[in-house]
């Protein structure tokens, strides 16, 4: 009886943490991976959090109105591995940036970041495995 209880507890201990793995989504579940859009605007906020950093930007539309975009990106650890830190994004808040994103399937002002160009001209692509070597200040 003692072994059955121990085995059941061990089984639960292994299964419970794995449940969260199923909650993660592929970008193609939310974003139209074939629809790349370039937008330019002012970065208003960055949330340097796991599992993906979130960026917000205001984009002036052709009719003069301002739309608020939310952009999802890689986790913070990915950025630090390629030499881009929280301070780089914090320095861009309030400044003009240009991004290439894949747009949300539902047509909302939501996108997944592919390329970002900061106001100082620094540019990098999240699709390039050699991004660290290609950052151009």
For the domain that residue 55 is a member of, what is the CATH number? Answer: 2.40.50.140
124 located within any domain = yes
103 located within any domain = yes
111 located within any domain = yes
20 located within any domain = no
Nearest Cα to Cα of residue 57 among 76, 42, 39: 42
Distance between CA atoms of residues 97 and 115, nearest Å: 10
Distances from the Cα of 16 to the Cα of 11, 19, 20, 22, 24, angstroms: 9, 6, 8, 11, 15
Note the pTM of the prediction, 2 decimals.
0.73
The SS3 assignment for 50 reads: coil
18 located within any domain = no
Under the banding of pLDDT at 50, 70 and 90, the label for residue 127 is confident
Domains of the chain: total: 1
| In the predicted structure, residue 137 carries a pLDDT above the cut 50 | no
What are 37's two structure tokens? 């859009």
Q: 124 or 114: whose pLDDT is higher? A: 114
Instruction: Dump pLDDT digits (tens) for 66-113.
Output: 999 999 999 999 989 888 889 999 999 999 999 999 999 999 999 999
Domain of 114, in residue numbers? 26-134
118 located within any domain = yes
15 located within any domain = no
């Amino acid at each position: 009886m003692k072994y059955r209880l121990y085995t059941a507890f061990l089984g639960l201990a292994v299964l419970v943490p794995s449940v969260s793995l199923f909650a993660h989504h592929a970008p193609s579940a939310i974003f139209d991976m074939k629809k790349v859009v370039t937008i330019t605007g002012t970065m208003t906020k960055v949330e340097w959090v796991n599992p993906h950093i979130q960026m917000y930007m205001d984009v002036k539309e052709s009719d003069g109105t301002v739309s608020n975009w939310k952009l999802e990106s890689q986790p913070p650890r990915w950025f630090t591995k390629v030499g881009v830190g929280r301070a780089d994004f914090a320095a861009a808040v309030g400044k003009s940036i240009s991004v290439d994103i894949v747009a949300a399937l539902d047509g909302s002002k939501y996108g997944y970041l592919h390329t970002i160009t900061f106001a100082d001209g620094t540019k990098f692509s999240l699709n390039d495995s050699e991004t660290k070597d290609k950052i151009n200040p």
